[in-house]
A = this chain, B = another copy of it.
């Protein structure tokens, strides 16, 4: 059930039975010479919808922009400041909690979002307590990164080994190829990709990772592999979501 394709009366019915909601969050940032700028949002959205279908959960509209300040020296990247993203998350959860939602399950496509999301969750719990909301103490938030699923991680290692890297990875590129076969890009990729892992400011990042990749070889990606990743992530995160709901 997709929130944006539902009516408020349908949501009212949903809330009479359930209190969980899935929120996809991505990023709008460079993904190397062949990765789509929307990769993280595309992946999170597709998997979140798959999880929503398999668990009958409602899925919120995707948060398309995240915390990607370190990518902003590459054109086309858009980033919220962490302080802005905290407010975005606060407003999103507060709006939904007032209606009765209490379990917020973020399916995330971008590593750079995790720290700010966790900071935001802490800020949100305190804010809801301040508001004297009756269900404030029931509110629970969790972020799950699709690319950190055990099954996904294993497949990526098996298929790509060290060439998986840590940004503009073949696994995420494969998933976008599966979802957008008409948007598969070609470019000559320098085999001497930086093996560094460190991330500081935007100018420093571009100097360290001149074409935007971090240790990855996305040329290995195929749409078929993308489908495998999709299936694994949906299956595993569906279980994670149900456990999250069940656990009090």
Give the size range of A's interface with the partner. 35 or more
Check B4–A126 contact: CB distance below 8 A.
no
Check B82–A201 contact: CB distance below 8 A.
no
**Known interface pairs A7-B185, A38-B3, A82-B120. Does A98 touch B72 (Cβ–Cβ under 8 Å)?**
yes
Check B91–A75 contact: CB distance below 8 A.
no
Cβ-neighbour of A82 out of B73, B112, B123, B200 (below 8 A): B123
> Min CB distance, A65 to chain B, in Å?
7
4 A-B pairs with the lowest CB-CB distances in the bound complex, closest first: A4-B38, A125-B201, A11-B76, A115-B118
Chain A residues in the interface with B (C-beta under 8 A): 2-12, 15, 28, 30-38, 41-42, 60-65, 67, 69-70, 72-84, 86-88, 90-92, 95-96, 98-100, 112, 114-123, 125-126, 128-132, 136-137, 139-141, 180, 183, 185, 187, 198, 200-204, 212, 247
